Structure formats: C-alpha cells, structure tokens
A and B are shown apart, each in its own frame.
Chain A
C-alpha cells in the first residue's frame, strides 16, 4: 500500500447517511463512535474495509459504517466473512456480533473461523441478553437471571466468551468495555491492537443494553467501582489494580488470588504473558461474581499463519507447479480418444 496516495480520513468519513436506530442510551453508540475514530488512524484504504454482521442489535453496525458491508443471517457472519477474506485477502474484514448471534446460534461458525485463524477482527458485543427479540436470556446470562423466557431464573450455565475463544485457540483474545467512566477507557487501544494483529482477533466488549439488562456491567464501567473491579492486562507487567493501585493478583499453586500490596511485593505478583494460553485461560475465569477483578486488555496474542494466506498460497503453488490451467487443458484432462469421420 502506498502511503502517499492515502487520503487523510476522519471519523466522519466512516459514517453513513443512515439514521442510527439503536435505543437512546445503548452502549452500541459508544462502540460505533470508537470504531469510526480508530479506523482513520490505521492508515488503510477506506474502500478495503468490509464490515460483516449477523442478526441482532449489534449486527446493524455495518449499515452505519461508510465502508463495504454485509448484514447477513443469524449467527453466520463468521462464514460470510471467511468467504470475503478467502476471495480477497487484501481486504480489512471486521465482524460485529453479539452474545446471542456469536455464541448461541453462531457458536459453531465462530469457533471454526477462530481456529482457522482467518484474518478477521471480531467485535463481540456482550450484553448478556437478547435485545432485538426483546429480552430473553442469552448464553452469557448469569445463572438465575430472570427474563421473559426465564421467569423463574435461568438454569443454563453461562459461556465465558474469553475462555471459549482461548479454547478454540484464537491467536488474539481481548476484552474491554463500551464506556468507562472510571477514567481508564481502553476500547480504542484494544481496537487498534486487534486491527494490527495478523490473524483472527477476538474482542469481547461489555456492552450495556439499557432497556433489557441495564447496568449489567456497571461494576466495570462506573467511576466509583471500575478500578476496583477490573484489572488491566499489560504484557510483561504485574497485575495491579484498585483506585489506589494497592492490590494485585498473585498465582498461588494453580489458582489466582487477590493480595494487598501492603503485604506482597509487586515482584511476587503474577506478571502477564500474552503468549501463554494456560495463563490466559486462568485469567479468563476471574469473575466479579466471585469477588475477583475482571481483566481487560489483551489476554492472549500469538502468531500463526492465516487461513486465507495459505489458501491463496496453495492455489499459487498449484499454478506454479502445474502451470496455469486454461479451458483447452481443462477439457482435455484425463484419457481421451478420437472417433474418426
């Protein structure tokens, strides 16, 4: 890509003339704004972006991005996006999905796209509820959650999106929140890191559905609690958190525990290593419900070859080894014989 030719974009260039139709106060607005803001900084051509989505509130996203986009069918966005990337590996493909679309109906597709390491950026808006169908529980809803379809409380054990992504060996796994009134807004940084990762990048975004599951993640986004309930992951750095940065996370045998920095030295805390999948899995199990701070930032980041690169390489290798196929060759491949006049 030639830098000289590249126009200078602003967030406005990534908007469309379409009226955004999310409920006022929805967390999606903040994410949309953040994505529009990040893209101009990435120095990629606008016409090379493709936003792909499935069905759900989050999946309306492509209509609001001034890029190429496909709003597909429920749960299948990873397959559609794989087709886009397979056909043209040069494109910057982003996939926007939700906890229902991505982990319920589309769990299978998401799993396979991630394990293939197709170079696609996945933004999974997790609001622990079905919004578009008006308030049923989702695969990330907590046990006991009372919704329209679970008046006596959900009996499902919820899926942990980060654990899921690590389990299928995604090469980039991160988490952030839609907003952060506690001062530490890393959404933009995580989006940038995902964009710069070559391979499947999975980003779970805690997103507030202010109509059907309002305040589900307030502990992680509000000014008075965020710094106590979340811990920022930084590669090579110890896990320190708290409004006064006076707490840390330590590995005790095979379990993680919260310690006070009054009693434990920073050097004895757990140091984050993005390349260690076992560590990332341990971190993915830390939950607010169990009194642990929830990690935000990049859990895991490693390098593996991308699916579409290998797909194209095989095609090119076949052309190199056997020569470019043409129609004449194609039709005459195999044993032939001639019948005379």
Chain B
C-alpha cells in the first residue's frame, strides 16, 4: 500500500494548525499508551516539536469499563517550540463511556470528539455511571462528535485474516490510530516499522504484526473513504535547532545520563534498585545496557539497594540507586551512612503523589524537603533537579560529576511527569562532554605523629582537598587499608571519635563541603525581565509550564522574570541578588510549599506560593491567571 495516499487528499479541505493536542483514552487494556506513543514518535520524526503526558491508573487492569480503569495519553505537537503537553484538548478519542466521562471536561468547545460507538452499550454506560447514552442526547452538542463503530469496522476489515476474536478485538487501537493518522496527514511507516519490530522480531509473532498493520491501514482508509470528516489538519514541521534528534522519556534519559557519567569517568556503573513506580524503568533501561560496563542488582528491598550502592561505591564503582518517595524514605538511614562515610552515591527520586503509597502513577513535587532535610541529625546532601525529559540526561551526568568530585551522596529529583513524558531530544555532542576525573588514592598521604623522619608514612582517609573532599582509596590498593563507618570520625585519621569538639568540626566540614558545590553552579539564567514586578522561581518538572506561562505573561506586557533551579542544595550563589531586583517573589510548586520555605529561610523574603496537589501538572492558563492576580494585588 502506498501510505502517502496523496492523490486522495485533494478531495478534502486542509486546515493548517500551529499546534494540536490529542488525547487518546480508553480502558487500561485498550492499548492507549502504545497508541499515543506511536503518534508521538511519528510526529516527532516528521519534525514537530512534541510533548506528552501519559496518565494511567495504578492498577494493572482495573475492572474493564470502569472509571478507575481509564488510561489516557495526551500529546501536544506543534510547528513551534512547545513546553507542555497542552492545557486543553483539541481532539479527544474515547474508546468507551468511562473514557469519555473522565476526559470530556478537558476537550475544548468545538473540539473534535471521536468515540467508539460500539462500546457505548448499556453495560458500559452503567459502569461509567451514565443514566442515558450521551451520544444520543444533547450533552455533547458543543463538540464535533464523530460516532464511529470502531469495533465492528475493525472486526470486518480483519475478518478474512482468520485470526481469533480476541486478537482482532485488541487491534482496534491501531484501527483508531489509522483514523487519526489520516486526519492529521501522518505517515504510517514509522508505526508499521515499530509493529514489525515489536511483534515479529521481539515477540516472534509475525501474524500479530501483520494483523495490527492491517488494522492501522484499514483505519486510515476508513478516514479517507467514509467522507465523515470535512477537512484534514496539517501541523507543519517545527523550526527546531538543527541537529540529530531522538524521542526520549525522562526515565530513559536518566538511565543514559547515569551511564554517560560512568563512561566519562571510565568506570563501571553498579546500580542497585528495587522495583517501584514510577522509577522501575530506570532499572529496566540500565539492565538492557550491560555492555556499557553496567551491573544491575535487583535487591530485596530499598534499604538493601542503597546499602549495596554504598558497598559498590566503597569499592570504587559509580554507584547508583533510584526509587520514588516511599522508597527514598526507607533509604534515609543508608543515605546518612553515605554522608558519614563520605562516599559518592547518586540517589534518584522519581517523585510521585503521596504521602504513603499515595498516587503511585501520578506526579507531584512534594519530596523536596525530604531530599534536603529528610534524615536524622545534620546530614546535608547535594540536591539537584531535572526539568524536562531530555534534561534528565544532563542532570544525571551532573549528579555523577558532583558525587565523585565532593565524595558525597547526590540526590537527583525527577518526577512521574517528566519520567514518563517524552520529548524530542537534541543529541549532545560527545566531544563537548567533559571527562569526569577520578584519581583513587594509591600512596600514603600523611605523617604519623609517633614516627620520626621525613615523608608520608600513613594513609589518612579523612584528609581533605581544596574542595573539602576526602581521598578515595579502594580495596585492593596495597598499604592503604582503612575502615569507614557510621560512627563519628576523627578528622584526617578517620578513627572512631566521640570527642565533642571533633564532632562539631566534622559536622561543620560536611556542611561546608556541600556548600562548596556553589562554586560549580553556572550563573542563573533568567527568562524574561532581569528586574521588575515579579520573579517566578521554579524547579523540576514544572519547567515547561512555567516557561510557557512566562512567554504568555511577557506577551501580556507583564514585567516578569523566571528562573528555574537545577541546584537546590546548595542554591545558586547569585540567586539572592536576582531576588532583590523584583517586587514580588512567586514560587509555583506541585506541593504545599517546599522550595518556598527554603527561599524564605535563605533570603528572608515574603515569597508567595502557587501550590497544586492533584497528581497533575500545572496548566499554563492557571499559572498565568494566578501570577497576574498576585502582581495586581
């Protein structure tokens, strides 16, 4: 088949759009994540800028047809640079009544609504809590409703394949994707290639690959021949920075960044983890990259994971563990041990909604104070945060670099939103990446008081360099045998010491060491005005929404500037100066106000928070409205 189908196009009016937001929703068994992912990849490879928001239930298969079982995937694709998956939806595809019910509020007035008419039977309507069929009353009249009997059409088009009803039934997501591809004039090739690879090559089920490809094509033809749609839509290519791109999710970028960090240090990476949503993918990705000198240990629990990482770090590997909030809570004591033994470990926290088990598949930024303060006693940790899926790569490299430079644990914060979300990633130039230099101690570095003569004759494991970092002698190195542990250490010798003054000194030193990291923080970039009415301070995964909101505020002639923090502990040294140049300080966060407490604490400013804890990212529109409200006060 010639998928370009250009001749047929001309019968239809073509509308050009700057951007469009599509959301696929249906039952968690309907394959919406795959469908959305395919549309995203196809659009990205076509040349659009894309941003996605997968939204799925914590249950693997909640009862079919129910509201909690709805799985959604939103993609924003554009001919301009975009920063978020979009506030409102232009095209909603609802595979069942439950999907319609939970998502219709986000569809724009006049937006396109495509439904699988066959799924709107009495049983499903009842499960979704509809008293009457919304397709047959007036409730959807503000939308452009397309009732398509997707199940039946898909079944008919695949009848001759002789495949089972179950396999055919499950192919309806590809049929639907075909329709949407036609509507947006997209090539089927990337998806055909992927299906072939997925089913035929990986799962050794070429017949399923064929079936799904057939469904995809049938849906595409349906769009073309059914004369249902009056026009097609074109979202032209975006003017992205030139270079080579790939589609990447935050978790994959984190995994690649960690490997890159270890490769830049020419070291083996030892990753110890325990499965937890939404961090497990980091373990999955790393396990697939063993040929990059990666060892992955799936430990018996979160505590074992941090402890194994500490053991690997003592032994000289780049040691990593990753988890989400509840797992990080369990790791707290272990992180304290890493602080005390001054061993480099990177701890990734892919934050999710909490507290306790909370909303495992939803996003939140409420572990910031846990990262900065959540351990017993004076236990400072370097804390940095990634701001977008692709940025997870850079943040992970930075985490490795800081950990080994300062010989101390680094907490890298990402969140469910950027971890699962994806965007086109401009591949970094390998030549431009600075090697990470690690010099393990191999010689004595001190002189014992009870010995006569010149020269060094002992190894002092807690002697410090100009960065206050201690040396890193690894087991197997002759003469440098030494012990580390959780008991307080005497300065330089590392011997156990309960001396009061030594304890004060060591607490101060560990704190001063973390504060030294400020010397590594580049000047803070400000988006918009460098002084004026309001400074917006953000961190982490809200970057896209804040960036887009700031653009809009600047268009509204608001005198605002926005800074987005990578480094949270310590803070950038120039932040105080920037803060002093603005009237209002606004700190939007997906929590009840955590960074704001740190900002107030450090700078004694009357900052104002914008706080949301719904398991969902900020909408650009709500940020703009709130910020303008604060400025107008």
Q: Residues on A close to B: CB < 8 A? A: 16, 18, 45-52, 55, 62-63, 65-73, 76, 78-88, 90-91, 108-109, 111-112, 311-312, 314-315, 317-319, 321-328, 330-332, 334-341
Complex Cα spacing A323 to B291, Å: 7
Known: A68-B482, A71-B483, A337-B45. A76 touches B246 (CB 8 A): no
CB of A330 within 8 A of CB of B300, answer: no
Q: Closest CB of chain A to B43's CB: distance in Å?
A: 11
Q: Rank and list the top 6 A-B pairs by shortest CB-CB distance, nearest first.
A: A83-B311, A71-B485, A325-B292, A83-B308, A79-B307, A318-B290
B-to-A contact residues, CB < 8 Å:
41, 44-45, 47, 190, 240-248, 256, 259-260, 263-264, 268, 270, 272, 289-295, 297, 299-301, 303-305, 307-317, 319, 333-334, 336-337, 341, 427-428, 430, 433, 474-487, 495-496
Q: Which residue of A lies closest to B259 (CB)?
A: A330
Cα(A52)–Cα(B475), bound, Å = 12
| B475/A50 in contact, CB under 8 A | yes
Known: A47-B476, A332-B244. A79 touches B304 (CB 8 A): yes
Contact, CB under 8 Å: B311 / A337: no
* Contact A331–B427 (Cβ < 8 Å): yes
Contact at A338–B291, with CB atoms within 8 Å? Answer: no
Chain B nearest CB, measured from A131 CB (Å): 16
Are B483 and A70 in contact, CB atoms less than 8 angstroms apart? Answer: yes
Most chain A CB neighbours (cut-off 10 Å) among B47, B290, B495 = B290
Q: A68 and B241 in contact (CB under 8 A), knowing A315-B293, A336-B246, A337-B44?
A: no
Given A18, A46, A81, A322, which contacts B495 in the complex, CB threshold below 8 Å?
A: A18
Instruction: Judge whether B337 and A327 touch: CB under 8 Å.
Output: no
B484 touches A330 (CB 8 A): no
Q: A52-B311, A80-B311, A321-B291 are in contact. Are A66 and B481 (CB under 8 A)?
A: yes
Are B430 and A331 within 8 A (Cβ)? yes
Complex contacts, A16 vs chain B, CB 8 Å = 483
Rounded to whole angstroms, the CA-CA distance of A65 and B242 in the bound complex is 59
User: Known contacts A314-B290, A331-B428: does B297 contact A73 (CB below 8 Å)?
Assistant: no
Known contacts A45-B476, A83-B313; 9 additional CB pairs below 8 A are A47-B477, A71-B487, A81-B311, A86-B272, A108-B301, A112-B304, A314-B290, A318-B291, A334-B246
Q: In the complex, A49→B315 CA distance in Å?
A: 11
Closest B residue, CB atoms, query A66: B481
Report yes or no: A327 in contact with B430, Cβ–Cβ below 8 A. yes
Q: List, in ascending order, chain A residues with CB within 8 A of B495's CB.
A: 18
Q: Does the CB pair A331–B260 fall under 8 Å?
A: yes
Contact A70 B312 (CB under 8 A): no
Residue of A nearest to B252 (CB): A334
Nearest B residue (CB) for A62: B483
Q: Which residues of A contact B484 (CB under 8 A)?
A: 69-71
CB distance from A168 to the nearest CB of B (A): 11
B contact residues around A339 at 8 Å (CB) = 47, 240-245
B483 with A83: CB separation less than 8 A? no
Question: B333 — which chain A residues lie within 8 A by C-beta?
Answer: 73
Q: Which residue in chain A gives the minimum CB-CB distance to B314?
A: A70
Q: Are the C-beta atoms of A86 and B297 separated by less than 8 Å?
A: yes
Query: Could you tell me the distance between the alpha carbons of A66 and B483 in the complex, rounded to whole angstroms?
Result: 8
B334 and A73 form a contact (CB under 8 A)? yes
Residue of B nearest to A336 (CB): B246
Contact in complex: A341, B475 (CB < 8 Å): no
Known: A330-B256, A336-B244. A48 touches B475 (CB 8 A): yes
Separation in Å of the B415 CB from the closest CB of chain A? 23
What CA separation (Å) do A325 and B294 show in the bound complex? 10
| A338–B246 alpha-carbon span in the complex (Å) | 9
Distance in Å: Cβ of A282 to nearest Cβ of chain B: 28
Partner of A330, one of B247, B292, B305, B336: B292
**Chain A residues positioned under 8 Å from B308 (CB to CB):** 79-80, 82-83, 86
Are B485 and A70 in touch, CB under 8 angstroms? yes
* A83 with B272: CB separation less than 8 A: yes
Q: Say yes or no: A86 contacts B481, CB within 8 Å.
A: no
Do B260 and A330 touch (CB < 8 A)? yes
A338 to B47, CA, bound (A): 9
| Cβ–Cβ contact B481 & A46, under 8 A | yes
> Which residue of B is nearest A78, CB measured?
B304
B312: which A residues are within 8 A, CB to CB?
83-84, 86-87
Q: Is the CB of B245 within 8 A of A63?
A: no
Option from B248, B259, B300, B309 in Cβ contact (under 8 Å) with A83: B309
Q: Do A73 and B430 touch (CB < 8 A)? A: no
Given contacts A112-B304, A337-B244, contact A86 B295 (CB under 8 A): yes
Given A62-B483, A63-B496, A90-B476: A83 touches B44 (CB 8 Å cut-off): no
Q: Knowing A76-B304, A82-B297, A108-B301, say if A322 contacts B314 (CB, 8 Å).
A: no
The CA of A46 and the CA of B477, in the complex, are separated in Å by: 9
- Distance to closest chain B CB from A24 (angstroms): 19
Given A68-B482, A79-B299: A87 touches B291 (CB 8 Å cut-off)? no
User: Which of B45, B263, B308, B433: most chain A CB closer than 10 A?
Assistant: B308
From known contacts A47-B475, A76-B304, A327-B260, infer whether A62 and B270 are also in contact, taking CB-CB under 8 Å. no
Q: Is the CB of B485 within 8 A of A62?
A: yes
Q: Which residues of chain B are within 8 angstroms of A325 by Cβ–Cβ distance?
A: 259, 263, 289, 291-293
In this complex, what residue of A is CB-closest to B303? A76
Asked if A68 contacts B304 (CB within 8 A), the reply is no
Least CB distance from A90 to B in Å reads 7
Give chain A nearest CB distance to B121 CB in angstroms: 39
The 8 Å CB contact of A48, one of B248, B263, B428, B476, is B476
Query: Separation in Å of the A113 CB from the closest CB of chain B?
Result: 9
Q: How far is the CB of B201 from chain A (nearest CB, A)?
A: 14
Q: Say yes or no: A47 contacts B479, CB within 8 Å.
A: yes
Asked if residues B486 and A109 are in contact (CB atoms below 8 Å), the reply is: no
Residue among B242, B314, B333 with the most chain A CB within 10 A?
B314
* Residues on the A chain within 8 Å of B313, using CB: 83
Given known A-B contacts A68-B475, A334-B246, A311 and B297 have beta carbons under 8 A apart: yes
Question: Which chain B residue has the least Cβ–Cβ distance from A88?
Answer: B315
Contact of B256 among A48, A78, A88, A331 (CB under 8 A): A331
| Distance in angstroms between the alpha carbons of A332 and B243 in the assembled complex | 12
- In the complex, the chain A residue whose C-beta lies closest to that of B315 is A87
**Minimal beta-carbon separation of A214 from chain B (angstroms):** 27
Residue with the highest number of chain B CB atoms closer than 10 Å, among A63, A65, A79? A79
Which residues on the B side are within 8 Å of A330 (C-beta)? 256, 259-260, 263, 289, 292
In whole angstroms, how far apart are the Cα atoms of A326 and B474 in the complex? 25
Residues of A within 8 A of B243 (CB): 338-339
Give the distance to chain A from B537, nearest Cβ to Cβ, in Å.
31
Q: Name the residue on B nearest A314 (C-beta).
A: B290
A337–B427 alpha-carbon span in the complex (Å): 10
What residues on B are CB-neighbors of A317 within 8 Å? 290
Q: Report the minimal beta-carbon distance from A99 to chain B, rounded to whole angstroms.
A: 20
Q: Is the CB of A71 within 8 A of B486?
A: yes
Inter-chain CA distance A339–B248, complex, in Å, is 16
Enumerate chain B residues within 8 angstroms of A69, measured Cβ to Cβ: 482-485
Q: Which residue of A16, A55, A325 has the most chain B CB atoms within 10 A of its CB atom? A: A325
Q: How far, in angstroms, from A326 to B476 measured CA to CA in the complex?
A: 27
Contacts of A324 in B (CB 8 A): 291-293
The smallest beta-carbon distance between B44 and chain A, in angstroms, is: 7
**Alpha-carbon separation in the docked complex, A315 to B269 (Å):** 11
A86 to B294, CA, bound (A): 11
CB <8 Å contact, A109 and B496: no
Whether A322 contacts B496 by the Cβ 8 Å rule is no
CA A67 – CA B481 in complex, angstroms? 5
Contacts of A91 in B (CB 8 A): 315, 475-476
| Interface contact A311-B295, CB-CB below 8 Å | yes
Across the interface, B310 reaches (CB within 8 A) one of A18, A48, A80, A336, namely A80
Partner of A341, one of B242, B433, B496: B242
A324 vs B259: C-alpha distance in the bound complex, in angstroms?
A: 13
Q: How far is the CA of A312 from the CA of B294 in the complex (A)?
A: 9
Contacts of A88 in B (CB 8 A): 315-316, 474-476
